[in-house]
Chain A
Amino acid sequence: MTTLRRHWSACLRVLKESPYWAPLTSAVVLLMAWQLVSMSVPQVILPAPARVATSFMALTQSGELPLAVLVTIWPFLEGLALAFVVGVSAGLLLGLCPTLARLVDPYIFIFWSTPNVALLPLIIVWFGIGHVAQVVFVFLSALFPLIINTEAGVRQVESSLVEVVRSLGGNNGETLRIVVIPSTVPYIFSGLRIAIGRSIVGIIIAQLLIVATGIGYMLQFYGETLQLPLILIPNLNFGNALYLEKKVFPSQLRFNRGSCRIVPFPKVGLINLVHRFEIRDPGQDHVNFHYLVQR
């Protein structure tokens, strides 16, 4: 009995010292919970993890999923890169020039709080329903967190450091290069983290509502044909993308140490799942589970 307990505590210690114990534990718990719930409800309500995995393999082998990812990633990256360049430059400018900020800031906050979907009709009229429209939509999704964070970053630059550079003979360009930009970098990165999350949502919405292609289209297609196991795959895939996004910025991970790092489900996936149910029958404005179970 005591030996068993000692073994057990030794195991726990090893787990706790490993950097992976938290994400592993939470992933295992999540999978177990998923499996348990899926065993007690019909498959159409929640497919078992194993079924989702099988569908994932099938879709990967058929080439459908990799292609969809490729078609989704490209405009996503283009829009994000554009937003990064424009957003960081604009943020630096606004942070350095208070007068300009007073003129422009209100509009930035208005646009930041506007749902991008509301701009869809304009985007379609201006940019059509092709590749450009997707890029523009991603760009708009990613732009404002980058501007706002960069601007806030410039505002908090320590004036004493600026004074040091001035006293050593630094000009404006050198002050920017030596003090302002390095001390703004953490803010830019946290803006980028938010921007990446919003861009993922943006590209899926764009592919659902503007251009029927990529992951967005897969969601729509499998959702409408009620192939639930398949719906979960694109969602999980973006979950992975979000996880990778966390890996890219280890500095942010340091702040998160101690909290769970499970593969996060993107909200759009879940909302999308419910949404699909809702619009199946236009006559009903809430989810009719009985209807689904009977089928």
Chain B
Amino acid sequence: MPKLEFREVGKSFVSPDDNKGTLTVVDRLSLAVEEHEFLSVLGPSGCGKTTLVRMAAGLIPVDVGEILLDGVAVTNSSPKVSMVFQNIGLMPWKTVWGNVALGLELLSHRSLTSGEREEVTASIEMVGLRGFENYYPYQISGGMQQRVGLARALVRKPTVLLMDEPFGALDAQTRAILQDELLHLWRERKCTIFFITHDLDEAIYLSDRVAIVSRRPGRIKQVLKVGLPRPRYAYDARADPEFVRLRHLAWESIKEELSRL
């Protein structure tokens, strides 16, 4: 049984112009993410990637079809699932510690026990922010802020991690570092990662499989299996001929979508 499964999922939004009716963003999309798999969804801008992950997180309902988590339909946010957002979404009035603690507070709906407080501290250490517990978000860099977002998600010990272009707003070096750290954490935690991106290299470098989504209405166009050996941060995976081949395939596929207006 797949860990996370999209079955003929469709979603439309009411368009702002009344006479145009609805805008179909995702159309009968099917996709299965296996347990412990790292799957990336790659697609051009506006193909419904974000809608897809928000539905999986239970933030918005599906119109047709269903999304199954461990075989059960997703209707609301689940304690087994954590989401990492592109705009991070840290509370500006809470410190790093307070923001990470939020992940557990909203899981248990009460104030933290001493054991949970230790878990929060451990989670902050895990993402390399030891010593920054009392800093406020505006006092740390964008990369560090996304580490906090990651710590807030991981402190819940999720079995599925949903990531919506988490590194999209970061500079190239910071992104590369965080990608490696993410792979490292994924290896340690053994969770399933559903990763949304528009970055070809990122998708191929990180994933076991890359699902390419067509332009709106979004459907799975092609699924590429990435056969690169792991751990990929141990060698320069981006220079591997297999990487170059996959990148070419993915680019051809995306280019076709981009020209289809």
Contact = CB atoms under 8 A, between A and B. Distances in A.
Interface string B72-99: 0000011100110101010101000000
Given A169-B107, A170-B106, A178-B102, A164 B77 contact: no
A168 B91 contact: no
B106 A174 contact: yes
A167 B57 contact: yes
B84 to A, nearest CB: 10
Contact of B89 (A163, A170, A171): A163
B106 A165 contact: yes
Contacts of A168: 77, 82, 102-103, 106-107, 152, 156
Contacts of B85: 160, 163-164, 167
A179 B89 CA distance: 11
B109 interface: yes
A94 B171 CA distance: 41
Contacts of A164: 85, 89
A174 B109 CA distance: 8
B23 interface: no
A174 B59 CA distance: 16
Contact of A163 (B59, B91, B103): B59
How many residues of B sit at the interface, in one of the four size bands?
20 to 34
Contacts of A161: 89, 91
Nearest to B92: A183
A163 B55 CA distance: 12
Contact of B87 (A160, A167, A174): A160
Interface string B11-42: 00000000000000000000000000000000
Contacts of A169: 77-79, 106-107, 109
Given A178-B91, A182-B91, A182-B93, A167 B102 contact: no
Which 3 A-B pairs rank lowest in CB-CB distance, beginning with the nearest? A164-B89, A168-B106, A167-B83
Interface of B: 57-59, 77-79, 82-83, 85, 87, 89, 91, 93, 102-103, 106-107, 109, 152, 156
30 contacts: A160-B85, A161-B89, A161-B91, A163-B89, A164-B85, A165-B102, A165-B106, A166-B59, A167-B57, A167-B58, A167-B77, A167-B85, A168-B77, A168-B82, A168-B102, A168-B103, A168-B106, A168-B152, A169-B78, A169-B79, A169-B106, A169-B107, A169-B109, A170-B106, A171-B109, A174-B106, A174-B109, A178-B91, A178-B102, A182-B91
Interface of A: 160-161, 163-171, 174, 178-179, 182-183
Given A160-B87, A167-B85, A168-B103, 11 more contacts: A163-B59, A167-B58, A167-B82, A168-B82, A168-B102, A168-B152, A168-B156, A169-B107, A170-B106, A174-B106, A182-B91
